[in-house]
C-alpha cells in the first residue's frame, strides 16, 4: 500500500481558452477501488493520461506504483490471447491467467484463438485479467463496460469487486455501486474525493446542494435586508446633519448622526460579509436544463408488429420465431446477450421502413436519421441485408415516422450546423438541447469527428430529441453519456412518454424507463 500524491497539477490543451485542471492537489491510496466520475468533457480520460505521463503538465505526480491502462492497445490482433499475455507479462503463469478468467466466466479454450476472433466482451475480459496479473500495478480502467450486455457488466463488476488498486471510469450506476469504495468527482470548479460507493456520493452531493441552495436564499434575503437598512441609516445620518444647523443642542444631534453613520457602516460590513459567503456557494451545483421532446401521436393503436421472425447469419440462426408488437405509449427495452441479434432486429425494422419509400439500402451504421414507412405490411421472407438473412412478417404503420439513434457515432463528421441541416431540424433548437446536456459552447465550431465519444453521442441524442416522430428507436443511446445527462434523459422520457423501442445495458435506466422488456434469445438469458 502506498500513496499517489498529486500536488499543484495544472494542465491545458494547446490553444484552449481555459485550463482543464488548475492547481489540483490530491492524495490517493493505491489500495482504493476508486470510481472517477464527471460530466462529459471534464477531463476524466485526460486525468488518466496525465498519470501515465502522456502530456506535459505543471506540478508534480508521485506514485510508488506502476500505472497500467485499460483498454490496452493490441497492435497485432492475429496473435492469440496467450501470445498477447506473454508480450505484456513475460514471466506470467498460464494457470494464473486461467484462474482470473474463470472468475469472469470466460471459456479458457478461447485463449488459443486469434484475438480478432473474440467478441468485444471476451476481449475486455482477457485484457482485464492480464492487466491484473501485473505486480505492483495500479490499473486505470477507462469505460470497460461500453457495449457490454447487462450480464457481462455484472460479471465485470463482480470481478472488480474482488480486486483493489484501480481507478474506474464508468457512467453505469449499477457497476459503480457494485465495485468501488471511493469516488473522485470532477466538478465544475473543484475535484473532490470521498469514501463510499456512487449512491453514497450522490446522497451526500444532493444533501450538500440542498444546503447550499438554502444558504444562498437566506443570504440573498439578508443582503437585501441589510442593504435597505444601511440605506435608511445613512439617510437618517444625513438628515440629522442637516438638523444641526440652527439647533440649540448641536452636540446631541452630532452624536446621533455619528451613531446612525456607525450603524450604517456596520450593516454595510455585514452585507459585504454575506456577499462574500454567498460567492462561496453554488460553484459545483450542476446545471441540468429542462429538455423537451416532440413525439407525434400515431393515428392507430398499433405502430409495428413482427411475426415469426427468424434471423440467420450465413447458416447459423441468431434467433427464430420472434414476435413483437409495439403500440402507442409502449417503451420496450430489447434485451439479450451480446450477439443475440438486437441491433440486427433494429436494422431490419429501419430497412423495412425505407425500402418501399425510395429503395434505399440501409447502411449498417447510419446515424441519427428520421425514416418513414409508406406500406402497412412488408413480407420479409428471404430478405437479405448486410450479410444477414431474415424470414417472417413485418407490419409497419403507414407513414410511420421513426427517429433513430445508432449504437456507434464513429462515422460522424462535419459541422454541427451541417448535421442539423441534414436532419432538417432547427439549428438554434438543436444547439440549445446540446447546451442543456452540458455540451460546451467552445465546441460548437469543432468538426464533430474531433469531439469526445460522449460528446458525439450527445450530438446523436440531441438530433433525435429535436425530431418529431411516432416511434423512437435508440440503440445503446447512453454509451459514454455522463451520469447527470442520463438523469435528464430519464426525466424527459417519463415526462413526455414517447413510444420507444430501445437497446440499453444500463440496468438503472431500463428499470426506470421501460414499460416492458423483450428478450431476443430467451434460452441464453439468465
pLDDT 10s digit of each residue in the chain, 526 long? 688 999 999 999 988 878 999 999 999 999 999 999 998 888 999 999 999 999 999 999 999 899 999 998 999 999 999 999 999 998 889 999 999 999 999 999 999 999 998 888 889 999 999 999 988 899 999 999 887 888 889 999 999 999 999 999 999 999 999 999 999 999 988 999 999 999 999 999 889 888 878 877 876 776 677 677 666 666 665 565 555 555 555 555 555 666 666 766 777 677 667 666 656 655 666 766 789 998 999 999 999 999 999 888 777 888 889 999 999 999 999 988 877 888 888 988 888 654 433 222 233 334 455 555 544 444 454 566 556 788 888 888 999 999 999 988 888 999 999 999 999 999 999 999 999 999 988 899 999 999 988 899 999 999 999 999 999 999 999 988 998 899 999 999 999 999 999 999 998 999 999 999 998 754 333 3
Helix (H) or strand (E) holding 20: none
Question: Distance of alpha carbon 393 from its chain centroid, rounded?
Answer: 37
> Under DSSP, is residue 501 helix (H, G, I), strand (E, B) or coil?
strand
Length of the chain (residues): 526
Alpha-helical runs (H) found in 387-482: 416-423, 427-436, 453-465
Question: Counting Cβ atoms within 10 Å, is residue 286 exposed (0-12), middle (13-18) or buried (19+)?
Answer: middle
Residue with cell 472517477: 36
Q: Alpha-carbon distance 400 to 361, whole Å?
A: 18
- If DSSP codes are grouped into helix, strand and coil, which group holds residue 241? helix
- Between CA 10 and CA 12 the distance in angstroms is 7
Q: Can you tell me the distance from the alpha carbon of 270 to that of 230, in angstroms, rounded to the nearest whole number?
A: 10
Global pTM reads 0.76
Cα 89 to Cα 96: distance, rounded to the nearest angstrom: 12
Q: Which residues pair with 378 in a beta bridge?
A: 394
Residue 166 near residue 34, CB atoms below 8 Å: yes
Amino acid at each position: 500500500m502506498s500513496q499517489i500524491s498529486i500536488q499543484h497539477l495544472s494542465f491545458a490543451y494547446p490553444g484552449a481558452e481555459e485550463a482543464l485542471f488548475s492547481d489540483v492537489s490530491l492524495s490517493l491510496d493505491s489500495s482504493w477501488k476508486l470510481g472517477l466520475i464527471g460530466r462529459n468533457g471534464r477531463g476524466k480520460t485526460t486525468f488518466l493520461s496525465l498519470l501515465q505521463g502522456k502530456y506535459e503538465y505543471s506540478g508534480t505526480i508521485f506514485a510508488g506504483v506502476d500505472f497500467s491502462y485499460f483498454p490496452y492497445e493490441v497492435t497485432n490482433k492475429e496473435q492469440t490471447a496467450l501470445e498477447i499475455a506473454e508480450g505484456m507479462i513475460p514471466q506470467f503463469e498460464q494457470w494464473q491467467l486461467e484462474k482470473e478468467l474463470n472468475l469472469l466466466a470466460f471459456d479458457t479454450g478461447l485463449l488459443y484463438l486469434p484475438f480478432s476472433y473474440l467478441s468485444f466482451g471476451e476481449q475486455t475480459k482477457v485484457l482485464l485479467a492480464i492487466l491484473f496479473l501485473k505486480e505492483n500495478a495500479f490499473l486505470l480502467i477507462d469505460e470497460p463496460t461500453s457495449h457490454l450486455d447487462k450480464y457481462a457488466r455484472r460479471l465485470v463488476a463482480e470481478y472488480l469487486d474482488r480486486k483493489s488498486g484501480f481507478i474506474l471510469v464508468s457512467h453505469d450506476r449499477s457497476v459503480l455501486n457494485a465495485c468501488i469504495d471511493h469516488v473522485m468527482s470532477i466538478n465544475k470548479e473543484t475535484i473532490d474525493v470521498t469514501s463510499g460507493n456512487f449512491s453514497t456520493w450522490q446522497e451526500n452531493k444532493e444533501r450538500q446542494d440542498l444546503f447550499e441552495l438554502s444558504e444562498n436564499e437566506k443570504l440573498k434575503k439578508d443582503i437585501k435586508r441589510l442593504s435597505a437598512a444601511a440605506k435608511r441609516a445613512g439617510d437618517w445620518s444625513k438628515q440629522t446633519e442637516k438638523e444641526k444647523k440652527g439647533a440649540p443642542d448641536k452636540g446631541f444631534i452630532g452624536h446621533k448622526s455619528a451613531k446612525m453613520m456607525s450603524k450604517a457602516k456596520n450593516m454595510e460590513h455585514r452585507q459585504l460579509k454575506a456577499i462574500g459567503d454567498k460567492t462561496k456557494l453554488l460553484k459545483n451545483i450542476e446545471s441540468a436544463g429542462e429538455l423537451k421532446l416532440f413525439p407525434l401521436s400515431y393515428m392507430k393503436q398499433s405502430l409495428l408488429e413482427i411475426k415469426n421472425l427468424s434471423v440467420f447469419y450465413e447458416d447459423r440462426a441468431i434467433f427464430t420465431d420472434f414476435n413483437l408488437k409495439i403500440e402507442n405509449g409502449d417503451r420496450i427495452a430489447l434485451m439479450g446477450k451480446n450477439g443475440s441479434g438486437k441491433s440486427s432486429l433494429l436494422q431490419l425494422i429501419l430497412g423495412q421502413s425505407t425500402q418501399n419509400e425510395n429503395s434505399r439500402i440501409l447502411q449498417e451504421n447510419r446515424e441519427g436519421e428520421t425514416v418513414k414507412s409508406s406500406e402497412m405490411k412488408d413480407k420479409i421472407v428471404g430478405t437479405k441485408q448486410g450479410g444477414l438473412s431474415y424470414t417472417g412478417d413485418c407490419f409497419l404503420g403507414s407513414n410511420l415516422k421513426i427517429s433513430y439513434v445508432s449504437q456507434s457515432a464513429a462515422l460522424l463528421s462535419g459541422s454541427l450546423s451541417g448535421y442539423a441541416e441534414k436532419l432538417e431540424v432547427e439549428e438554434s433548437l438543436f444547439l440549445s438541447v446540446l447546451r442543456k446536456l452540458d455540451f460546451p459552447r467552445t465546441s460548437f465550431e469543432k468538426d464533430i469527428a474531433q469531439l469526445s465519444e460522449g460528446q458525439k453521442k450527445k450530438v446523436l441524442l440531441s438530433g433525435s430529441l429535436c425530431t418529431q416522430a411516432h416511434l423512437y428507436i435508440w440503440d445503446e443511446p447512453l454509451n459514454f453519456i455522463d451520469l447527470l445527462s442520463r438523469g435528464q434523459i430519464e426525466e424527459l422520457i417519463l415526462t413526455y412518454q414517447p413510444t420507444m423501442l430501445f437497446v440499453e445495458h444500463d440496468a438503472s435506466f431500463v428499470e426506470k424507463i421501460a414499460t416492458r422488456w423483450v428478450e431476443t434469445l430467451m434460452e441464453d438469458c439468465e
